[in-house]
Amino acid sequence: MKSFASIIPLVAALAFVILAVTGIDLIMGRVGLGMVVLGGALFLSFLLRVVKPPPDRRLGLAALVLAGGAYFLWRAWAGGPVALATVDIALVLSGLGVYLGVVASGERGRRIWIAVVAGLALLNAAIALYQQWSPGIYYFWQSRAGEHQMVAGFFGHYNPFAAYLNGSVFFLLSYVVLGRRLGLRILLALGSVAIVAALVYSGSRGGWLSFVIGGAVWLVFLLVVLKRQGSRLFGPLALAGVLLMVAGGVTSIEVVRKLTAERQMPQNPDFDTEINLAEADGGRMAFQQMAFEVFQDEPVLGAGPQAFSYRSLEKWDRDALGIWTNLPVYAHNEYLQVLSDYGLVGFLVVLVLLFSHGVIAVAGVLSGGTRDREMILWQIGAVGGLVAILAQSFFSFLFHFPACLALAAVQLGMLASPVSQTKQGGLVLGRVVALAGMAVAVGLVVTGWPLGQSYRLQRQGMRELRSAGDPDEVFRSFATLTKAGNLAKQPDIFEVIARRAMTLANQVVKEGNPGLARDYALKAKEALERSLELNPHFGEGLAGLPRVSDMLGHDAEAEEGHRKAMTELWTREISLRPHYHAARSSFYKAFRAGSNDEALRFLYQARERLQQRLMILRKKSDFEPIREFAIEVEAWIAFREGRRLFQKGDEIWKNARPRNPELAMALLLEARKRYERAKEVVAGIEPLWETEWKQLETHLSYLRAGRTNPLELNGEDLGKYLLPEVGLATGEGSR
């Protein structure tokens, strides 16, 4: 039984390796396997503890963590769309699982955990150094030729990469100073240098600043231990530490200034305003203000899992932050993120857990227990690393990366482990914690298995889609992707289906197969509707569904969808372009209109929506393809206005009593100007242009022959004979 029990920490640590290697971005499906392996190991571990609770492993602290985790799980499940809740539930379960795995490990098990954490840090550093000297490698998991180089190890971004290095390096440094094996100390010293070098090369401003902060706290703890041990290293290390901290503070200012200058967004000549300070920093300051405003709306329990991702759009201040700024999915401050999503209750839970672990760790280190003295070393490393990650979390969303969350859980687990011998704990509490641990294990498997299967099916579906040679194979690939999306509860997968289906629909329409095009469009509609069932705030679904309705000819449904998209997504005009697509919808309705006046109203509506878009973007003119579309809209407006003026002028000339040839000629001349403006775009498409142009020229020739002098018409006079430009659109422009 003992040999079997000794294998469990190894399996749990293996699960951490999977989480740390796969949880390097925001793709949760990839971590499913790690969650399942971790859940299996934890279930067996706590099953043994139900039968025979071990000596006190600070069970009260573990119970406190489980209670806090239960709040986040409940709030995520009850408080938001299923797609967003699924992600947060998976994150919370992963963190709880790793924490319990560390706490349940003995001395040998903790060494395994430290070994895998340090080994992965060294591996990340090695990959990063290779990336630094091998231009072209951007992202370990997926080669992105042509994109800028990024030194980030396994990770998809330098900020979580820097956080992982910061969270690990102090374990190595602690052994370098306090360890017993000289050879290992030398190797780890070299490894620490490599990690710090990789941190510098990553270019993470927050990473370097947090390294200095974590290093200062680590040094204080280290000096306290050396002082209590009466070590001769205390004096030299104290002096060296002070000098290094001063140097670190000075370099932090310079490093942050230099990297900020390198990333300064240049002023775009297409925009009317200059990039301000908030925008130059990627919008972090403004995002954090939005997060606090979301918290103020629902301060007790918060707005629900990842509510900031959609509630922030309601708080957008266009005067402080440009529309072209990055989409604020996260607040770039984990503390404000917790406040906005989980309220004051969630924030207090986090504070209590951090404070309780910190107090107990400090007490344990200061007590200098005689048993398991090695644990003091690891706890000093855990304190430094955890402080570094917590500091960087003030300006990043680190705990939404499974790898960073798992590392923080390891650090907390190390702090919760006893330094000195403890007495036998209460059997009742021990069994309660063990049963709760088994429940977490079951949750990990139940949540992780669908995520892992989803990731596998998504990759399979994409391979099938790329190799599909006929419609049947395409629809089979769509079925595979649909299974993947339903398993993971992720709307992004359904958006992939819809986007591909619409591309194929447009393609087969040109090939003369409207029936197949309709089938593809119906599939796109089904996929987008499913995406909005999973997350009603899913921007791609809100923007895409009315476009599909346009293709299917569902005009009323399309118009309702466009209006909703313009209202809710105006802040995403730069990427999702709701006003532009609404304008196109109005434009094409003009061609199906039953009369010239109806067509003109739709064209006016298209123009208004394009003007609203320019107001939102604060641009002098639009990007080239949309600028060409705007020119086309104006040409058709000119043609339709010309027709109306031609008809009015002709009617006045022929039927007015008394006759008013002067007014008729004025209207016909205005009509002629519009026909001329429309000629380049309209003449080759609309046969009526040439027919009516000839008629118009004939009428004018008769009036000239009669020596008719046209009236002078101002804009107000002319407006009486044109449709009023009534704005039919809704959105930011009418706010």
Who's near 257: CB < 8 A, 6+ residues apart? Answer: none
**Partners of residue 271 on adjacent β-strands:** 619
| Residue type at position 450 | P
Task: Say what the pTM is.
Answer: 0.87
Whether 682 and 635 have beta carbons less than 8 Å apart is answered as yes
The parts of the chain modelled with pLDDT lower than 50 are 1, 144-148, 265-279, 369-371, 725-735
Bond prior to 658 in cis (omega within 30° of 0): yes
Q: How many whole angstroms separate alpha carbon 194 and alpha carbon 205?
A: 18
Q: How many whole angstroms separate alpha carbon 315 and alpha carbon 99?
A: 36
Backbone φ and ψ of 271, nearest 5° = -100, 150
DSSP class of 720: T
Q: What angle do CA 468, 472, 477 make, to 5 degrees?
A: 55
In the chain, what is the straight-line distance between the N-terminal and C-terminal CA atoms, in Å?
A: 70
Q: Identify the sign of the CA torsion 631, 635, 636, 641.
A: positive
Summarize pLDDT for 445-463 with one digit per residue, the tens.
999 999 999 999 999 999 9
Who's near 546: CB < 8 A, 6+ residues apart? Answer: 557, 558, 559, 560, 561, 562, 564, 565, 581, 582, 585
Q: How many whole angstroms separate alpha carbon 389 and alpha carbon 401?
A: 12
Q: How many whole angstroms separate alpha carbon 268 and alpha carbon 619?
A: 9
Whether 52 and 70 have beta carbons less than 8 Å apart is answered as no
Q: How many whole angstroms separate alpha carbon 560 and alpha carbon 601?
A: 17
The single residue listed with the structure tokens 């990333």 is 263
Whether 97 and 46 have beta carbons less than 8 Å apart is answered as no
DSSP class of 25: S
Contacts of residues 78-81 at CB distance under 8 Å and 24 or more positions apart, as own/partner, are 79/301, 79/302, 79/303, 79/304, 79/305, 79/307, 80/303, 80/304, 80/305, 80/306, 80/307, 81/304, 81/305, 81/534, 81/535, 81/536, 81/537
Q: How many whole angstroms separate alpha carbon 104 and alpha carbon 651?
A: 93
Q: Identify the sign of the CA torsion 665, 666, 671, 673.
A: positive
Q: How many whole angstroms separate alpha carbon 85 and alpha carbon 305?
A: 6
